[in-house]
Amino acid sequence: MPGSDDHRLTEIEHHLHRDDPRFAEALDAGLPRRPREYHPPRVWLLLAVALAVLGTGLFLARGLLIATGLVLAGVAAELLDPHRRSRPPHHPPPRSWPR
């Protein structure tokens, strides 16, 4: 059943191009890069800054700093999620109901 293997590989390639196009293009060119989910140093820096801003806001009792720290921490947590989708999920077209 070589056809089923080819179909599965084509499906994997399609998902790879959809999930991380830069990695897939680099792999096609023969110069692979690490996938996006393995590049979190900037995100860790954002999380550290967020926690510093949050701590400063708590220490100084400044609501705007606390809110900013919480928002930045939420953004960093979302970016650290390796299973997040870079695009919204594909929704099939609505079914037409018989009249």
Q: Return the closest-CA partner of residue 56 out of 68, 44, 47.
A: 68
Predicted confidence band of residue 58 (pLDDT cuts 50, 70, 90): very high
Question: Are residues 23 and 39 in contact, defined by beta-carbon separation less than 8 angstroms?
Answer: no
| pLDDT tens figures, 9-45 | 888 888 888 887 877 787 778 777 666 556 567 888 9
Residue ranges of alpha helices (H) inside 61-91 are 63-80
Query: What six digits make up the tokens of 16?
Result: 């790879």
Token output for 58:
């708590």
- pLDDT at 34 (0 to 100): 62
pLDDT at residue 65, as a whole number = 95
pTM tops 0.75, yes or no: no
Give me 2's structure tokens: 């070589």
The pLDDT of residue 78 is above 60: yes
What pLDDT, on the 0 to 100 scale, is given for residue 64? 96
Residue entry with tokens 């897939």: 24
84-95 pLDDT, tens digit per residue, is 655 555 656 666
